Structure formats: structure tokens, C-alpha cells
Amino acid sequence: MSQIALPLDWPADETDADFIVSPCNAVAVRHLEHVGTWPVWATLLVGPRKSGRSLLGRIFALKSHGTLIDNAEEQGEDRIFHAWNMAQEARRPLLIIADRAPPEWKPRLADLRSRLAATPLVRIDQPDDALIDALIERLLAQRGILTRPDFRAYATARIERSYIAVMRFVDMVDHLALEKRGTKIAIPLAKRVLAEMGVIDESPVLF
């Protein structure tokens, strides 16, 4: 597992959220690192919310001096259409981030649909075990909570494979650690959180 090195002039409040590369997003990362191989000066990146797709997009736009359109389904279709054309004319990359790819995403503008059909598509998938482990460690460390490998391994083996589930697990661990000072960050705590999330059928552990 590796991380994208951020430029020195990247905003300080973003550096704590370095994008973690794992098998579930490595193809997308490689594609964005090789703009010269793109058949057109645009790419469509799709993936779940909370997957780090926006962070990856901002890093890409800064490093490539390209244009980023995030949450594309919520943007004006004319704006995306003109940005696509401008990218080809200026020969500067455009990254469009969306929840879904066509045909699930169905722009009404026919000219935009035809351009998206010619645009390469890359995906960020739901997190794999390696990424779940890394996210639990990173997100809790950002909150001042250090975790042991056995704690993370127990949670990783049982938690739902989704970014939302990982975020909920982290939030609940953080809440319990704040609520009960001195709570040991160990497997019994992971069991309690996962039970409250409905992931495992365990009686809550009392502290």
C-alpha cells in the first residue's frame, strides 16, 4: 500500500487526509497519473461517497493544472458540456466526478451524452480489507486515538464493506472513548461498537 505524495503548496488542512492507495482504487489512480494515454482530454471518475474521490480529484487538478467538476449529476449539463469542449481545445485535462456512470446517469442533453460516451471511465470500488484497516487506523489517529493491529483486524473482518460503515464505526469508537475516559481501545470495544451497529450478535460489553 502506498500514498500519493502531496505537493508542498497543498493546503495544510488537507495534508492529513492523504489519499490511501489500495487495490480498490489503484486502477483509477494509475489512470490519473498517465494523462498522456487518455484518448480525449477528459475522464469520468465514479465511486461511492466518502471514498476519497473528491480528495483524489483535487490532488489531480492541482498536479495536472486541469479542471475538476465534482458531484457532476448536481451540476448544470451545459457547464459540463462546455468544460468538456474547452478541455479538448486547450488540451488541458478535465476530471468529472459522479456517483454513477451512464447509462445509470442519464443527462438530458444529447450532446453531453455523446461526449460522455467517448470519455474514459474509471471507478473507485467499495473498500477492501487493506483499505478498511488503513482507514480505521488513520481516522482514529486523527482524533488522537491509537489502535492496535488486533483491534483493527477484528473490526475489518466483520464490518460492512462500505465507506459509510467505516465512518460510522470510527465515529462510535471516538464517541465511546470520549464518553468513558480510560476506555481501552481493544477487541471488547470493537465488539460493543459492531454489536450496536447490528453487525454482530453480541451482548454489549460494559465498561
Using the CB atoms, write b or e for 84-106: b if 16+ within 10 Å. Answer: beebeeeeebbbbbbeebbeeee
* 101 and 36 within one domain: yes
The residue from 99, 123, 147 where one domain ends is: 123
Over residues 21-25, mean pLDDT? 94
Per-residue confidence (pLDDT) for residue 202, from 0 to 100? 63
pTM to 2 decimals?
A: 0.83
CATH code assigned at 29: 3.40.50.300
* 105 and 30 within one domain: yes
Q: Is the sign of the CA dihedral 32, 34, 36, 40 positive or negative?
A: negative
| Cα angle: 163, vertex 164, 170; to 5 degrees | 90
Could you report the per-residue pLDDT of 102-156, keeping only the tens digit for each? Answer: 999 999 999 999 999 999 999 999 999 999 999 999 999 999 999 999 999 999 9
* 113 and 11 within one domain: yes
In this predicted structure, the answer to whether residue 15 has a pLDDT above a threshold of 50 is: no
Could you report the per-residue pLDDT of 30-58, keeping only the tens digit for each? Answer: 999 999 999 999 999 999 999 999 999 99
| Residues composing the chain | 207
Q: How many domains does the chain have?
A: 2
In this predicted structure, the answer to whether residue 7 has a pLDDT above a threshold of 50 is: no
Give the separation between CA 139 and CA 121, rounded to whole angstroms.
29
Q: In whole numbers, what is the pLDDT of the chain averaged over residues?
A: 89
In this predicted structure, the answer to whether residue 204 has a pLDDT above a threshold of 60 is: no
* 110 and 15 within one domain: yes
* 155 and 106 within one domain: no
The residue from 79, 108, 123 where one domain ends is: 123
Could you report the per-residue pLDDT of 150-185, keeping only the tens digit for each? Answer: 999 999 999 999 999 999 999 999 999 888 776 789
* 108 and 6 within one domain: yes
* 103 and 188 within one domain: no
Q: Residue 84 is part of which domain span?
A: 2-123
Per-residue confidence (pLDDT) for residue 2, from 0 to 100? 40
